[in-house]
């Protein structure tokens, strides 16, 4: 079974923990989780939840340029892989595991990116993986609150991802115009929708090194752009909601830290 | 038909021009040339020779870190690709061609390496592609001459590649010992044989930015290492042969340049 943990074209989050419970009871099925944007933005417990293969990429919350993918494989999945007769060459994981057991690799890797990844992982370890995830969750929650305050709809209302937020453009306004203005006026880069969603949504990232000031700046810029494009909204209203979410988060963190002390 | 232009595990060169003439007459067959080490070290004329797919990598004569591959596709191959029912996803070239026609890509590429490749290609264009190839050919010829002067055998005697030279270790000497000493004494990195050739050959690279002084230094270092390990050879004998090849090459270049002038 193949699923995304979170989905970067729409900002949707999937309940992989529940899927893991279902698949755990099926001996012939592995749960393969594309966690490219999920890794470092969402709590993932591969062993506890029965996620058999979890795939990450260098270019999202790990803050490294694109070019690397990596995956964790459960013992259950290894057994299926060893029996599998599907044709594969570069994706021969058994061969790669054997090579890595000798500190080698099956094929020439992008060595400079591996070195960059090492540095990024050291940084994440120094801050704590949970803080990286909590930061994305806070930015996402604050952005959703701001979007609502500005009268904008959310694409993934019931199950939003932490990695990014997909915001609907106001009725009759092309999201491409918002994106263009943000970039031209403020050098702020947000992404358009893909495929059938092009022109309908714009996507704001929250992962990795994005921080609260980045978010405040983007929301304030967005308020100006929307106003210029004819959407009625109160300047500062989105920022104020985001600030409240931020302060609530900081307060919670402080309480948790205090509770953790003797 | 799949073939390497030159083969980096053994330093063998293949006659892809002749293979191209054979395959050109077969409408249902494409000639796919792995030119990872061949590109920029060997004359390749894809259109003239009927090479249908020529595959290059960033990490060899193109002097960029590993992580990128790219390929040129003939019209004949495109027609076969369009009809092919073989399962593929990342290797769906028709999809990639369509995306590139819109200045997009099908999947997230290693952007930093693409930028580095651009710079490398500008450098190669400024010097001339033929000079890049001629440099590798000269270094390879000089290295072969030096190896012979030192009493060492060549693995690919009848059809050597320009990209690298695979040299046999003296009888009874493990090539790993030579490699280790070169690295420990001189910081010089040469590669061991792979698989069944491990311990039997060592491989000296000539591609990309390797130049004559690199080669002189390596041969002189090799002479010392061989002597220390008990192989009898005359110090400087290999270097002298390499110098002669270099001077012959420079002379030829000068004559060619003069002949080109009015």
Report residue A217's pLDDT band, with 50, 70 and 90 as the boundaries.
very high
Chain B stretch 98-137, residues whose beta carbon is closer than 8 A to a beta carbon of chain A: 108-113
User: What is the C-alpha to C-alpha distance for residues B227 and B222, in angstroms, rounded to an integer?
Assistant: 8
Q: Computed over its alpha carbons, how large is the radius of gyration of chain A?
A: 21
Q: How far is B114 from chain A (nearest CA, A)?
A: 10
- Inter-residue contact B227 to B187 (CB < 8 Å): no
H helix count then E strand count, chain B: 9, 9
Q: What is the pLDDT of residues B131-189, one digit of tens each?
A: 999 999 999 999 999 999 999 999 999 999 999 999 999 999 999 999 999 999 999 99
Q: Provide the pLDDT for residue A97.
A: 95
In this prediction the ipTM stands at 0.76
Cβ contacts (< 8 Å) between B113 and chain A: which residues?
A: 65, 67, 110, 112-113
Report residue A261's pLDDT band, with 50, 70 and 90 as the boundaries.
low
Q: What is the DSSP string of B166-193?
A: EEEPPTT--HHHHHHHHHHHH----EEP
Domains of chain A listed by start with CATH number: 2-127 (3.40.640.10), 129-260 (3.90.1150.10)
Place of tokens 């069944």: B196
Burial B69-81 (b: 16+ CB within 10 A, else e): eebbbbebbbebb
Q: What is the mean pLDDT of residues A73-98?
A: 94
- Inter-residue contact B55 to B71 (CB < 8 Å): yes
Of A66, A111, A113, the CB nearest to B108: A66
Closest by CA position to A167, among listed A218, A208, A130: A218
Q: What is the mean pLDDT of residues B35-39?
A: 96
Chosen for mutation from B98, B112, B120 (greatest number of chain A CBs closer than 10 Å) is B112
Question: In Å, how far are A3, A19, A119, A138, A211 from A36, measured between CA atoms?
Answer: 11, 18, 19, 19, 20
Q: What is the pLDDT of residues A9-18, one digit of tens each?
A: 999 999 999 9
Contacts of A86 by beta carbon, 8 Å cutoff, 6+ apart: none
Of B66, B108, B112, the CB nearest to A109: B66
Taking the mean position of all CA atoms in its chain, how far away is CA A37? 3
What is the rounded average pLDDT for all residues in chain A? 95
Cβ contacts (< 8 Å) between B66 and chain A: which residues?
A: 108-112
């Amino acid at each position: 079974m193949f699923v995304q943990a979170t989905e970067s074209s729409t900002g949707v989050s999937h309940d992989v923990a529940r899927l893991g419970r279902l698949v755990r009871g099926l001996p012939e099925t592995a749960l393969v989780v594309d966690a490219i944007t999920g890794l470092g933005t969402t709590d993932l417990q591969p062993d506890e939840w029965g996620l058999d293969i979890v795939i990450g990429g260098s270019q999202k919350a790990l803050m490294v340029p694109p070019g690397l993918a990596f995956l964790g494989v459960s013992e259950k999945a290894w057994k299926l892989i060893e029996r599998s007769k599907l044709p594969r060459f570069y994706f021969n994981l058994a061969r790669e595991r054997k090579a890595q057991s000798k500190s080698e690799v099956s094929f020439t890797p992008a060595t400079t990116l591996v070195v960059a990844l090492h540095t990024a992982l050291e940084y994440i370890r120094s801050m704590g993986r949970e803080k990286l995830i909590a930061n994305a969750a806070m930015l996402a929650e604050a952005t959703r609150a701001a979007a609502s305050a500005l009268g904008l709809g959310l694409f993934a209302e019931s199950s939003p991802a932490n990695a990014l937020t997909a915001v609907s453009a106001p009725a009759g306004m092309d999201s491409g115009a918002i994106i263009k203005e943000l970039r031209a006026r403020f050098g702020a880069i947000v992404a358009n929708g893909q495929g059938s969603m092009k022109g309908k949504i714009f996507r704001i990232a929250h992962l990795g090194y994005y921080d609260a000031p980045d978010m405040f700046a983007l929301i304030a810029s967005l308020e100006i752009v929307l106003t210029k494009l004819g959407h009625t909204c109160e300047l500062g209203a989105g920022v104020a909601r985001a600030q409240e979410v931020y302060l609530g988060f900081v307060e919670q963190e402080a309480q948790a830290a205090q509770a953790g002390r003797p």
